[in-house]
Amino acid sequence: MPSNATLTGDTFHLPDVGEGLTEAEIVEWKVQPGDTIALNQVIVEIETAKSLVELPSPFAGTVDELLVAAGDTVAVGAPIIRVSGGEIPRTPADEVLELEAEAYDGAGYDSYEKAVHAAPEGSGAVLVGYGVSGAHMTTRRRRVSKADADARAERVADARAERVANERAARPASVPAAFAHPVIVKPPIRKLAKDLGVDLSKVSPTGLAGETTRDDVIRAATQASVFHNIETPEWGDERIERIPVKGVRKAIATAMVTSAYSAPHVSLFVDVDATRTMEFVARLKASPQFAGVKVSPLLIMAKAVIWAVRRSPTVNSEWTDREILVRHFVNLGIAAATPRGLIVPNVKEAQAMSLIELAQALEQLTLTARDGKTQPSDTADGTITITNIGVFGMDTGTPILNPGEVAIVALGTIKQKPWVVDGEVRPRMVTTIGASFDHRVVDGDVASRFVADVASVLEEPALLLD
């Protein structure tokens, strides 16, 4: 077979894109019958109980038939699309799609290595549980050196540049000046723009090859956000809107009911002078070591919870009918409100991370959740959770436990309030910590000590250096 062509396949079955996935909903087809598709081209967007996933095609060829419709819930292993055809010449755009599937979002060599080694040796897989038979092949390598990764990154840039040049050459001369650049954007960034209500045609791209980046979209959304809260949408024509209970919403409902009615909750609250935390955050932001890393009070809260867990280990437990499992590691869950609903991905082995490593992990977790790319494995095996309701301007709340855990901590908004210091009323940055516990495992004294420990770190972050 010529090196510039790929083999075609026939029927594509819904793969297991996560641990124990049994079904998924077809959200949107990206192709239609008669379309010509390339290897690794995104063909469909599916929704599992925890994440929104774009499936790339393991075949190249022509779409014969879509075997299921958008909105259908399909079992894993069921056929969803039929593809046929001969060899299809590879184009620069194909090269971009394939290489960017391996080096996702231009994240660099480390992410490229992770993507390559995520597939089983010799399987040709491009997603977890997503393999192709011996009759088909991809051009993925099992192991790459840094030089190979850099070379491939250069090929991506060259292919992008060629694609941009071709699109510009084909653009009519009458295109208005306001739309003088083609909209080049990866699917996750396009999804982010849709969620944030950003019109991509009005965003000025800053990517090296003229592509719109995540920062471009977030910047545009931030500039427009001041108007979002003063717009009140009209009700639709229907008096009652019916929303099917499925996917993430069904998973949330099941988990919350199970937690609320199986674990006896007890909640505690404490006000905290977080002035020194805000000063510490400001110093970290100015530190060259943290350049390019998102730093927020959530980072200090996360470190405080990890520290407090060591002092009150039963808050990091799991209840079973026969025994209490006290875990001597922390998979720190962060409750994330996404456009698709609440999910709780967790940072694995957070207790072993330095402050900057934890900051990077939290940032990646947040971006992945915002892009709808959180995988089921990312939400599994959590040990304790933080919910940052302060980002919504809330002072406190009574959080419900994440199933399988016995403690959850809520961080309220941090704002200036009058506070008594040495007998004098002064303006200080104050927050409220709320926490819920499973009273079968955590007694009142343990819960109180744990919350007090978290509060002490927010009041004096220097304790983190001990």
Token pair for residue 388? 């940052």
Q: Which token pair is 396?
A: 């406190």
Q: Report the range of poorest mean pLDDT among 67-76, 216-225, 278-287, 454-463.
A: 216-225
Please state, rounded to an integer, the average pLDDT across all residues of the chain: 77
* In the block, residue with structure tokens 């407090």: 308
Spatial CA neighbour of 302 closest among 353, 378, 369: 353
**Which two three-digit tokens encode residue 107?**
């994240």
Q: Is a pLDDT exceeding 80 seen at residue 220?
A: no
Would you place residue 119 in the very low, low, confident or very high pLDDT band (cuts 50, 70, 90)?
Answer: very low
Could you identify the residue written with the tokens 């996935």? 21
**In this predicted structure, what is the pLDDT of residue 400?**
93
Q: Is 395 a residue whose pLDDT tops 80?
A: yes
Residues classed as catalytic: 439
For the stretch 226-264, pLDDT in tens is 444 445 667 778 878 788 888 777 888 888 888 888 889
Q: In the predicted model, what is the mean pLDDT of residues 164-192?
A: 57
Q: Which among 96, 114, 250 is positioned nearest to 164, based on CA atoms?
A: 96
Greater model confidence, 286 or 208: 286
Give residues with Cβ within 8 angstroms of 430, minimum separation 6: 271, 272, 273, 274, 414, 415, 416, 417, 419
More confident residue, 178 or 294: 294
Burial of 113 by CB count in 10 Å (0-12 exposed, 13-18 middle, 19+ buried)?
A: middle
Identify which of 339, 367, 290 has the alpha carbon closest to the alpha carbon of residue 106: 367
Which of 49-58, 84-93, 323-332 is predicted least confidently? 84-93
Pick the more confident residue, 163 or 205. Answer: 205
φ and ψ at residue 304, rounded to 5 degrees: -65, -40
Residue 122 in this model has a pLDDT that exceeds 80:
no
Among the listed residues 149, 82, 456, 414, the one whose alpha carbon sits nearest the alpha carbon of residue 303: 456
Q: What pLDDT, in 10s, does the model give residues 305-337?
A: 999 999 999 999 999 989 999 999 999 999 988
Q: Are 334 and 345 in contact (CB under 8 A)?
A: yes
Q: Are 332 and 347 in contact (CB under 8 A)?
A: yes
Residue whose entry in the numeric block shows the structure tokens 């209970």: 245
Band (pLDDT 50/70/90 cuts) for residue 46 is confident
**The pLDDT of residue 110 is above 60:** no
pLDDT at 49: 67
Say if residues 24 and 48 touch (Cβ distance below 8 Å): yes
Strand-pairing partners, residue 319, are 324
Query: Looking up tokens 């971009």, which residue turns up?
Result: 96
What pLDDT was estimated at residue 315? Answer: 96
Confidence bin at 134 (pLDDT 50/70/90) = very low
Q: In this predicted model, which residue has the larger pLDDT, 52 or 430?
A: 430
pLDDT of residue 164: 57
pLDDT given for residue 156 in this prediction:
64
Q: What is the pLDDT of residues 264-307, one digit of tens each?
A: 999 999 999 999 999 999 999 889 998 888 899 999 999 999 99
Pairing relation of β-strands 61-66 and 332-338? unpaired
User: Which stretch of 256-260, 343-347, 380-384, 444-448 has the lowest confidence by average pLDDT?
Assistant: 256-260
What are the DSSP calls for 216-277, one per residue? Answer: HHHHHHHHHHHHHTT--PPP-SSSS------HHHHHHHHHHHHHHHHS-EEEEEEEEE-HHH
Give pLDDT, residue 123: 36
Top pLDDT among 436 and 109 is at 436
**What's 58's DSSP letter?**
S
- pLDDT, residue 7, reads 38
Domain architecture of the chain: domains with CATH: 5-170 (2.40.50.100), 173-232 (4.10.320.10), 247-465 (3.30.559.10)
